[in-house]
Amino acid sequence: MSKRDYYEVLNVSQDADAAALKKAYRRIAMKNHPDKNPDNPEAEAIFKEANEAFEVLSDSQKRARYDQYGHAGVDGQTSGGGADFGDMFGDIFGDIFGGGRGGSRSHVRQGADLRYNLEIGLEDAVRGTTVKIDIPTTVSCGSCGGSGAKKGSKPVDCSTCGGVGQVRMQQGFFTVQQTCPRCQGAGKQIKDPCYVCHGSGAVKENKTLSVKVPAGVDTGNRIRLRGEGQAGEHGGPSGDLYVEMHVKPHAIFEREGRDLYCEIPIGFSDAVLGGDLEVPTLDGKVKLKIPHETQTGKLFRLRGKGITQVNSSARGDMLCRVLVETPVNLTKKQKQLMQEFKTIQEKEGNRQTPKKSTWFDGVRHFIDELRT
């Protein structure tokens, strides 16, 4: 009888990580373990099959051979039906109840990760920079080396669990293990706590760190600083620090991915007659040619004047939106000239404002239809 695919047995995808594999195996094992299903050969067969699949897929070398050659690559290297279900069950469910059966659990724990919100300007985000930050954190106690015990002494085995970190409880036919209530799973007790950290193994401290911000970062991007988080418990490794970027609003530019946007106000005469304008970019000023009779809202694209994002060599564009300003604070002479211009327009049928004429024609047509 041919064997089923191991990934199918555990009901996981081929790119499943170790955590997903263990979770899938737990689910099947808890339902079909022989201790819960006495005299049930079908459940025992399912458990054996899952046991064999997990044994292969949880081993990186066996998994690589299986992925390349299938069952032929791992036949003879699995425990199969000869597995000790009790030991396998205890090992895999140790993580649920705080440790394996009869085994000692380390009281060392990794420290927590931290997050720091870093606000930078658009120019620094585009070009990259190095920023110094001060963060409150905890570090391993120098007096006790992170053990929590007074210098010259050591933690001792917990008197309740004997150093295992768990206590066993019998619930009918099913035996489970729970975290020891006295030592909270550490397996150790500190009789003589360190006078500096008072037994915690860590002390509070402010750290100054240099954060190298790569060119092209944007709001929401994160930089990971390994080992700069909270100190681990009882000498365990420190967590990581995640620096999250927040780019401040800019007075001129708005960013959208690789592109920059800006609004350029121009005078009435410039819009009518056209001309050359100097506009700012992140690389300095450039000339923008405004054609005659430019309408407000017209968008001009300056290619290659945008942003190069992180891990990319392609640079975006800058898009300039023209806003035509209506003249204000006119002199008497200017008002006379504008009135003369308006009179000439009306005599010539407003040919200089085609959109206005078309719009009013539509309004008149709409009103006529309402009257009929």
Ranges of each domain in the chain: 6-92, 114-247, 254-324, 341-371
- pLDDT confidence tier of residue 90, bands split at 50, 70 and 90: very low
More confident residue, 53 or 171: 53
Distance CA 14, CA 12 (A): 7
- Residue 296 CA, distance from chain mean position: 40
Distance CA 288, CA 296 (A): 15
pLDDT beyond 60 at 125 = yes
Distance CA 134, CA 208 (A): 4
- pLDDT confidence tier of residue 362, bands split at 50, 70 and 90: confident
Predicted pLDDT at 107 = 54
Fold observed for domain 6-92? Helix Hairpins (1.10.287)
Q: Are 180 and 167 in contact, with CB atoms under 8 Å apart?
A: yes
Token pair of 333 as six digits: 């002479």
Predicted pLDDT at 170 = 64
Q: Is 285 exposed, middle or buried (0-12, 13-18, 19+ CB in 10 A)?
A: exposed
- pLDDT confidence tier of residue 244, bands split at 50, 70 and 90: very high
Distance CA 51, CA 332 (A): 95
Predicted pLDDT at 85 = 41
- pLDDT confidence tier of residue 316, bands split at 50, 70 and 90: very high
Distance CA 190, CA 132 (A): 38
pLDDT in tens, 281-312: 988 999 999 999 898 999 999 999 999 888 78
Predicted pLDDT at 331 = 93
Continuous segment of H or E residues that includes residue 355: helix 354-371
Q: Are 32 and 43 in contact, with CB atoms under 8 Å apart?
A: yes
Sheet holding 259-266, edge to edge: 254-256, 259-266, 318-324, 299-302
Closest CA to 240 of 361, 157, 116: 116
User: Average pLDDT, whole number, for the chain?
Assistant: 81
Closest CA to 209 of 137, 135, 140, 142: 135
Fold observed for domain 114-247? Chaperone, DNAj Protein; Chain A (2.10.230)
For residues 44-68, average pLDDT? 86
pLDDT beyond 70 at 372 = no
Distance CA 111, CA 240 (A): 8
Fold observed for domain 254-324? HSP40/DNAj peptide-binding domain (2.60.260)
Distance CA 372, CA 365 (A): 11
Distance CA 359, CA 367 (A): 13
Distance CA 172, CA 66 (A): 39
Q: How far is CA 273 from CA 20, 158, 239, 268, 300, in A?
A: 68, 89, 64, 9, 17
